Amino acid sequence: AATVTALPGDEIDAANGAQVLVKTLASGASADFDAAGDLTIDSDTASLTDLRVDFGSANATLTLTDTLGTAANAATDLTLVGSGTVTVAGTAAESLQDIDASGASGAVTMMTANAPTALTSYDGSSGIDTLTIDGVDTSATITLNGGNDDFVSNHAAGTVVVNGGAGTDSYDFAGAG
């Protein structure tokens, strides 16, 4: 794993399989990654809240974790860009609150094992979105956009507004009863 002691403000190129531990930021609260494939990110700084990852045409897994360093991953906002298929996994994915995949044209999957627990917004890709949430922060707006999407809500409180968009979508409100 590469440890970055002062992550610069410009885009970081990451090779397939890269593991990045961010200790501090040079400035701001966001980090841009240009990933050539699978990427693992662990933020050991509370100031890194916004992640933007461009996967290009790669089919890849983005793993958000807090196991490379010593502090909890503070990232709450995630923007995904690219035309490949992207799977978001890892224990820190549970902390995501705002996910913007509208810049992605491939399929986007949020792993159910680490589903967001306090989601406020999801803006889906133009491809197939597979999204499971375990909770919302009072209310959430889910916009699935294009594709034959699959949405599962395991929460029992709060308000979820789901905009299906184009395609034939599947909804499961497992926690609603």
Q: Kindly report, residue by residue over 47-105, the tens digit of the pLDDT.
A: 888 999 999 888 999 999 888 877 777 789 999 999 989 999 998 998 899 999 999 99
Q: How far apart are CA 11 and CA 111, in angstroms?
A: 26
Say if residues 49 and 75 touch (Cβ distance below 8 Å). yes
Q: How far apart are CA 68 and CA 21, in angstroms?
A: 6
3-state secondary structure 45-66: CCCCCEEEEECCCCCEEEEECC
What's the rounded mean pLDDT across residues 145-171?
A: 84
Q: What is the pLDDT of residue 156?
A: 66
Q: Is 130's pLDDT higher than 60?
A: yes
Stronger pLDDT, 135 or 149, i.e. the higher one:
149
- Share above pLDDT 70 across residues of the chain, in percent, rounded to a whole number: 93
Q: What is the pLDDT of residue 46?
A: 83
Q: How far apart are CA 116 and CA 157, in angstroms?
A: 14
